[in-house]
Amino acid sequence: MTKVLAVLYPDPVTGYPPKYARDDIPKITHYPDGSPVPRPSSIDFKPGELLGSVSGELGLRKYLESKGVDFVVTSDKEGPDSVFEKELVDADVVISQPFWPAYLTAERIKKAKNLKLAITAGIGSDHVDLNAANDHNITVAEVTYSNSISVAEHNVMMVLSLVRDYIPAHKRIVNGGWNIADVVSRSYDLEGMKVGIHGGGRIGEATMERLKPFGVKIVYNKRHQLSPEKEKQLGATYEPDFNKMIKDIDVLVMTAPLTPETYHILNKKTISTMKRGTYIVNNARGDEANRDDIVNALNSGQLAGYAGDVWYPQPAPVDHPWRTMPHNGMTPHMSGTSLSAQARYAAGTREILEDFLDNKPIPDVYLIAQGGQLAGTGAKSYSVAKGQASPGSGKK
C-alpha cells in the first residue's frame, strides 16, 4: 500500500474551519506568462477554503483514499519522537509546505527507505537536502508559479510599509495616540527611490512590474539577463554584480532561491557597503541574511528597516531577535499561503500525485530534482554544491 505523509501547519487556535471573511475568490485560469494554473482531474475542495492546515489536508483525503493510499497528516515535525520522523520510515511520498517545513535532512532521507517523491506544496524546496535526495534517487517537485504573485504582492506591501513607516503609525493610533510629528519622522515617499531586486524570476519580475508605476528606478541582479523587451516592459536595468548593485540603492528586495551562493549573502560586510538607511524586504528565505548582522545594522541605523516572512528555523523560536529588533515589519511565513495561493498549490499537489500514482511523468515545470540530478525548473533556478548539505535543509 502506498503511503503519503503530509506535514501541514496546525489548525487555527479558534478551531477549524475558520469563519471566512469572503465567500469566494477570483477565478484565475492562467499565470502572467500565459501558462495554465494547475489542472488536476478534479478537486474535492472549494477554492478559498483553508487547506494548508492539518484539518484542511490540502483537500487530498477523498482522492487519496479512493486510490487506496494510506494518507497520514501531522503537524508534529521536530525531533526523533515526532510523528513525522516515525511515519517517515515507510512513507513513499512526503508533502511539506515551506511555511511549516519538514526538514528532510540527509539523516532523515537515509532512514526513509521507501521514499520516492518529496512534494513541496508551494515553492522553494531548500528544506530538502537536494544532494541527499539525488543520492537516493528521490524525485523532488514543487508547484511552480502557484504563489509567486502572492509573494510579489507581499513584497510591494512590505516595501511601502517600511518606507512610509506604516506599522508604527498604525500601532500609535490603536494605542490612542495622535502625535503626527512622531509618526512622520521616519516616513518617506517611495517615488524617485532606487529599488534593487535580487533574482528576477517569477516573483522578481512580478515585483518589478508592480513597483514600476510608483515612479521608482529599478535595477536587478540575477545570473542571466532578461531580454531587452522584458527589461523595457519592466523599466529595469541589469547589474550582473550583486555587490555593485547594493551600493547605491534605497530599497533591496530579495527574490532568489536559497542556494549555496545566496546563503548569508546579506551579512556584516555586504550590508556595510550599502547606503545608510537602506531598507531590505526579504520574502525569499531567512537564511539569505545573517540573523545577527541584520539586528546590528538596524540598531546602528545602517539599515532603516527590514521586513519579511521568512526565518530560520521555522517556526521561529519565541526569543528570535527578528521579532523584536527595531524597525522590523516581520510576519510569520505567510505570503505564499494566502487562501488564494492555497487553492492553486493544493490543486498542483494533487496534479503531481495523480501523475505519480498513475505512473505518468511529472511535468518538467514542477520538477526540481529527478534521476539523481537537478531537473526541470530546478535545473534552471537552483544549484547544489556536491557533497554539501543544502543550506536550508536543517543542517549547517
What the block records as the C-alpha cell of 83 is 510523528
CB 97 within 8 A of CB 150: no
Distance between CA 304 and CA 274 in Å, rounded?
11
Structural element, H or E, at residue 298: helix 291-300
Structural element, H or E, at residue 229: helix 228-234
Does residue 202 touch ligand NDP according to CB under 6 A? yes
Does residue 11 touch ligand NDP according to CB under 6 A? no
Catalytic residue among 154, 333, 344, 350: 333
CB 285 within 8 A of CB 256: no
Distance between CA 332 and CA 29 in Å, rounded?
28
Q: Is 333 a catalytic residue?
A: yes
Q: Is 127 a catalytic residue?
A: no
Instruction: Name which of 296, 294, 274, 298 is nearest 286 in CA terms.
Output: 294
Of the candidate residues 40, 201, 329, 348, the single one contacting ligand NDP (CB under 6 A): 201
Least separation in angstroms between residue 377's CB and ligand NDP is 6
Of the candidate residues 309, 327, 328, 375, the single one contacting ligand NDP (CB under 6 A): 309
Q: Which stretch binds ligand NDP (CB under 6 A): 66-74, 78-86, 155-163, 332-340?
A: 332-340
Of the candidate residues 102, 151, 208, 274, the single one contacting ligand NDP (CB under 6 A): 151
Least separation in angstroms between residue 238's CB and ligand NDP is 10
Contacts to ligand NDP from residues 248-287, by CB under 6 A: 255-259, 261-262, 283-285
Q: Is 147 a catalytic residue?
A: yes
User: Is the dihedral angle over the CA atoms 16, 21, 27, 33 positive or is it negative?
Assistant: negative
Of the candidate residues 5, 8, 115, 123, the single one contacting ligand NDP (CB under 6 A): 123
What the block records as the C-alpha cell of 295 is 539586528
Q: Is 314 a catalytic residue?
A: yes
Least separation in angstroms between residue 24's CB and ligand NDP is 23
Please say which residue, 63 or 100, places its beta carbon nearer to ligand NDP: 100
Least separation in angstroms between residue 393's CB and ligand NDP is 13
Least separation in angstroms between residue 263's CB and ligand NDP is 10
List Cβ neighbours of 45 (8 Å cut-off, separation of 6 or more).
51, 56, 59, 343, 346
What the block records as the C-alpha cell of 115 is 521514499
Task: For the chain, report the end-to-end CA distance as a whole number of angstroms.
Answer: 35
Does residue 52 touch ligand NDP according to CB under 6 A? no
Catalytic residue among 147, 155, 282, 328: 147
Q: In what order do the strands lie in the sheet with 139-142?
A: 70-74, 3-7, 93-96, 117-120, 139-142, 367-370, 373-374
What the block records as the C-alpha cell of 300 is 546602528
Please say which residue, 77 or 333, places its beta carbon nearer to ligand NDP: 333
Catalytic residue among 314, 328, 342, 370: 314
Of the candidate residues 124, 286, 348, 376, the single one contacting ligand NDP (CB under 6 A): 124
Catalytic residue among 198, 285, 344, 350: 285
369 has which bridge partners? 140, 374
Least separation in angstroms between residue 131's CB and ligand NDP is 17
Does residue 381 touch ligand NDP according to CB under 6 A? yes
Please say which residue, 69 or 208, places its beta carbon nearer to ligand NDP: 208
Q: At what angle do helices 148-164 and 166-174 cross, to 10 degrees?
A: 70
Of the candidate residues 148, 155, 342, 390, the single one contacting ligand NDP (CB under 6 A): 148
Instruction: Name which of 282, 331, 346 is nearest 8 in CA terms.
Output: 346
Instruction: Name which of 315, 393, 357, 394 is nearest 126 in CA terms.
Output: 393
Positions marked catalytic: 147, 285, 314, 333
Q: Which residues bind ligand NDP (CB under 6 A)?
A: 122-124, 147-148, 151, 198-204, 221-224, 255-259, 261-262, 283-285, 309-310, 333, 335-336, 381
